[in-house]
Amino acid sequence: MGAVLKHPTVAFLSRRLLHSAVVLLGVLVVVFSLLQLVPGDPIRIALGTRYTEASYEALKSASGLDRPLLVQFFSYLGNSVTGDLGVSFRSGQPVTELLMNRLPATLSLALVGIIIGLVIALVVGIWAALHEGTVSDAVVRIASQFGVSIPDFWMGLLLITVFSATFHLLPSSGYVALTDDPWQWLRHIILPASAVGLVAGAILTRYVRSAVLEVVSMSYVRTAKSKGLSRRVVTFRHIVRNALIPVLTIAGIQFATILGGVIVVEVVFAWPGLGNLVYNAVATRDYPLIQGTVLLIAVMFLAVNLLVDMLYAVVDPRIRLS
């Protein structure tokens, strides 16, 4: 047992998990405090245009907002630890249930988006780096600068206008679960995932290009070339594999950013994901739902980063988990 705990992988994991728990606690404290500081009364919004003082007090009490702040916080903290994120003020449904309903849509959008982004970035970035200074490199650099500057929601509107409104090739909105109908899932996900992926791809292309350029100038690449290894072996085994390490970090962060940041794209495509949910939750000051969504996004962010750190070892055996 002791030996297992001392295993570098286990030790690394437990240290990282402990670290993550501290971060999550911090997230809870910050979100809870921020919500108290932000103006806007969830009770008044929930009650709508017309109500009486009695209705106000009744709902406030039913929502638990009449309790002292510290009591609210510790009861929330206590429940969160057991996985109970409370009940949404507005929908009356458990927050955990709402989040789990929405997670698949956001995960699939972010995954397909980052895959599109990575494919573009790897192909175009490596190509541009290996052809540094040529016209095609310049074109790539200009195009990626362009892509970085475009907001993803605007890209979404552009894609709808071209592929849906003009050529009627793809649906403009909606979501079909992969398990329900893979073909329709693909048709519906192409446009929103492209909106996300093209922008992510532009960002990643720049990293891939500069990472590859850096590796190309390394002495071991020169050595490999002078040993007479084939161009293919040098490119993929020596250059790309080494260049992937920094790219992986950025891709991980980019993926996590997409997970937490596709709000506007989801709104544009009426995509039933977390973004759409949190957008409404913030507008209506649905505290439990906002807290729960932020917590989930934080958990995913930490998980992706942990995964990326572990992938390092696969890509680069020199990196020891200790």
Residues that bind other proteins (CB under 8 A): 38-42, 44-55, 57-59, 90-93, 98, 101-102, 105, 157, 160-161, 164-165, 168, 171-175, 267-273, 276-277, 280, 283-285
Give 171 or 246: the residue with its C-beta nearer to other proteins: 171
Give 39 or 133: the residue with its C-beta nearer to other proteins: 39
Give 215 or 268: the residue with its C-beta nearer to other proteins: 268
CB of 279 to other proteins, least distance (A): 9
The single-letter code of the amino acid at 304 is V
CB of 259 to other proteins, least distance (A): 16
Give 92 or 317: the residue with its C-beta nearer to other proteins: 92
Residue 194 β-bridge partners: none
CB of 267 to other proteins, least distance (A): 6
Q: Which two tokens stand for residue 308?
A: 């990326």
Give 103 or 306: the residue with its C-beta nearer to other proteins: 103
**Do the Cβ atoms of 258 and 274 come closer than 8 Å?**
no
Q: Which of 164, 127, 136, 104 lies closest to 296 in space, CA to CA?
A: 104
Give 26 or 40: the residue with its C-beta nearer to other proteins: 40
Contacts of 37 (CB under 8 A, 6+ apart): none
CB of 95 to other proteins, least distance (A): 12
CB of 292 to other proteins, least distance (A): 14
Residue 4 β-bridge partners: none
CB of 71 to other proteins, least distance (A): 23
**Do the Cβ atoms of 198 and 216 come closer than 8 Å?**
no
Give 38 or 138: the residue with its C-beta nearer to other proteins: 38
CB of 150 to other proteins, least distance (A): 17
